[in-house]
Chains A and B, each alone.
Chain A
């Protein structure tokens, strides 16, 4: 558990934010089911974290763990883009059900 740590940065409760949250959840509950902690951070409420993490734009999904840290920005609809951007396709074995934990 907790092998993957994802952080989703959104800006306010907009339709775009909601879509991003839904997509990030989908990812964490399907491909990364049982192996992922997803944290959602609203930069409007927590500008300090945005500042600290040097978030340039939202919605941004950050893979904080395992390293290397990767960030993707934009539309999270296309799962293969998301997986590629986060560098997860490179280690698909981890993602397959029954793969090494």
Chain B
């Protein structure tokens, strides 16, 4: 090989080396990772452009002390100091190398700031969703299609009665659906529709009780469309269901009550007329007259009808009441002998009246409630058994759902009798609903209980299963206060005849004619008016002793009329004729003390007695709030 050839070879080798170095430098210069070559004291021997950019000094790192790099595993994380800009997080990898013939270290730094930020964002997001899942009001769970529980939240454990997630896992999701077929049905529906929204499902508590839920169930699918998991959000509506049923029942009873009460009220007016004329007929017919028996029958039938309408009015809560404060315990004690005789010899009556409190209600009506419940319990045990009647005080926390705030005085009547089906239970308080054979019950006993209890601001709840007896619980609001001492009841005075002038106002012509007839017969002078204006004109012209007026009339009501008449004739007395309790409320709330009234239906004797009683009363003496039957 000559010199020329040698020269070419060297030149080629040099070019190849240059090219090779350029390639390697290019790789290093364009590497997105920072590369530092360090000596044993951590001084930078070489830094690629990415490293210069990472540290952001604007100058070269070469010659600066980076530090001796220590890595515990394969990599370690370090922070690049901020120096006026955002700090960067870096993953450092270290390897041994050689530099200019001496051993050195190569540190490769990868900027992981953005990756870390997204990891953190993901973690935060995961945490937030996990919170939303865990803390939700809904019972949430995730399961595999076979029903294996993958995740659940606290509400889920609570509404299905699990102590721990592990216990729930052991039970498995299909058990919550009552049977595996029902669970499979849901899974199949999710597979087909991908999601179910607002579905109502009857599920099963760990203890076997029914749990009504409304739920959304979503499927998670893999790339091939296979169902991988189900996520369910279930809202427990069991309590709402029960409240809804209570509300429906209350509305039904309210409607029936209105109907029965309204009917009975109008019927009362008619019965007053029937009874009145029947009585008049009876009084006027000679004792030997064959028609007398007809009149007796008329009056008897009308009396029975009046008793019936009175019970319907009680149920419809339109019956007149005289509420007062009294102790339920004391009432139970006072009627204990009555209850024992009502229960009969075959039944063991356990009476406990020690824990009750003060209530505000019509004492005689509550007596009727207790009596009706006792009779009902007795009839449920034709072959004998145990009846328990007790009163106790219940704090708000112990009350069943839907009863509202405040403590209650509880009256409980339970029996060991034949019990009842849910169907019977739901219709129990309807008037004329009875399971007793014909002639044994009117079907009004429990309706009356219902009406009275409602009227007193109470609630009555029944618990019963066929062949397992029944428990009636009546909750009265507990009232703070001392019971009043009951006033002695005055004996009704025998009516005597009169000669005074009575001004009578009632828009019902039949009733008016009857009253005129009765009062005429008793010796009074009766002036009739069809409405208030008519009555005022009469009072202007004629001195009157008694104003006998209906409470509710078209135009002017009885109270205003009385005020006008008393303005002109201050010595007159007033007796109101009242249809039902709404009138009485009006009287008690608005009318002056001393106002008296006569309840429809009334008998001629009651009318006479009331008129006489008021006319005989000295001026300025307050009358009892109500008179009449």
Contact = CB atoms under 8 A, between A and B. Distances in A.
Interface stretch (A26-34, A48-56, A92-100): A48-56
B151 to A, nearest CB: 27
Given A54-B65, A56-B67, A81-B70, A73 B82 contact: no
A76 B84 CA distance: 26
B380 interface: no
A47 B70 contact: no
B125 interface: no
B78 A57 contact: yes
A11 B86 CA distance: 12
A74 interface: yes
Interface string A15-27: 0100000000000
A35 interface: no
A73 B72 CA distance: 11
B42 A73 contact: yes
Interface string B66-107: 111111110011111111100100101010000000000000
A84 B40 CA distance: 10
Interface string A57-101: 111100000001011111111100110111100000000000000
B80 A57 contact: yes
Given A54-B65, A70-B42, A82 B81 contact: no
Contacts of B61: 56
B197 interface: no
A43 B82 contact: yes
B543 to A, nearest CB: 102
A56 B107 CA distance: 14
Contacts of A84: 68
A58 B70 contact: no
Interface in B450-471: none
A75 B76 CA distance: 6
A70 B43 CA distance: 10
B68 A70 contact: yes
A54 to B, nearest CB: 7
A72 B69 contact: yes
B248 interface: no
B41 A74 contact: no
B64 interface: yes
A11 B81 contact: yes
A72 B68 contact: yes
A86 B69 CA distance: 11
Nearest to A51: B83
Contact of B70 (A43, A50, A55, A78): A78
Interface in B26-56: 41-42, 55
Contacts of B78: 57-59, 73-74
A72 B70 contact: yes
A55 B41 CA distance: 15
A2 B344 CA distance: 103
Contacts of B76: 74-75
A34 B68 CA distance: 25
Given A51-B83, A73-B42, A57 B66 contact: yes
Contacts of B66: 56-57, 71, 73
Nearest to B69: A74
A93 B462 CA distance: 92
Contacts of B82: 11, 43-44, 47
B207 to A, nearest CB: 46
A7 B36 CA distance: 24
A77 B75 CA distance: 13
B72 A47 contact: no
Q: Which of B41, B70, B72, B87 has the most CB of A within 10 A?
A: B70
Contacts of B94: 74
Contact of B68 (A9, A16, A58, A85): A85
Nearest to A17: B79
Contacts of B67: 56-57, 60, 71-74, 85
A56 B68 CA distance: 12
A44 to B, nearest CB: 8
A85 B70 contact: yes
Contacts of B69: 72-74, 85
Contacts of A59: 78-79
Given A74-B71, A78-B72, A82-B70, A56 B79 contact: no
B83 A11 contact: no
Contacts of A87: 41
A75 B71 contact: yes
A56 B61 CA distance: 10
Contacts of A47: 82-84
B74 to A, nearest CB: 11
Contacts of B90: 57
Contacts of A44: 82
Given A57-B78, A85-B70, A72 B42 contact: yes
B87 A11 contact: yes
Given A11-B87, A56-B55, A73 B68 contact: yes
Contacts of B81: 9, 11, 43, 50, 55-58
A70 B72 contact: no
Nearest to B94: A74
Contacts of B83: 47, 50-51
Given A56-B55, A56-B64, A16 B79 contact: yes
A78 to B, nearest CB: 6
A60 B65 CA distance: 11
B279 to A, nearest CB: 101
Contacts of A77: 72
Contact of A73 (B41, B64, B70): B70
Nearest to A56: B66
Contact of A54 (B64, B70, B80): B64
Nearest to A69: B65
Contacts of A85: 42, 67-70
A44 B84 CA distance: 10
Interface of A: 9, 11, 16, 43-44, 47, 50-51, 54-60, 68, 70-78, 81-82, 84-87
Interface of B: 41-42, 55, 61, 64-73, 76-84, 87, 90, 92, 94
Given A50-B81, A57-B78, A71-B65, 20 more contacts: A9-B81, A11-B81, A11-B82, A11-B87, A43-B81, A54-B64, A56-B61, A57-B67, A57-B80, A60-B67, A70-B42, A71-B66, A72-B68, A73-B66, A73-B67, A73-B78, A74-B78, A74-B92, A85-B42, A85-B70
6 contacts: A44-B82, A47-B83, A57-B79, A57-B81, A74-B92, A85-B69
List 3 tightest A-B contacts by C-beta distance, closest first: A85-B68, A73-B67, A71-B67
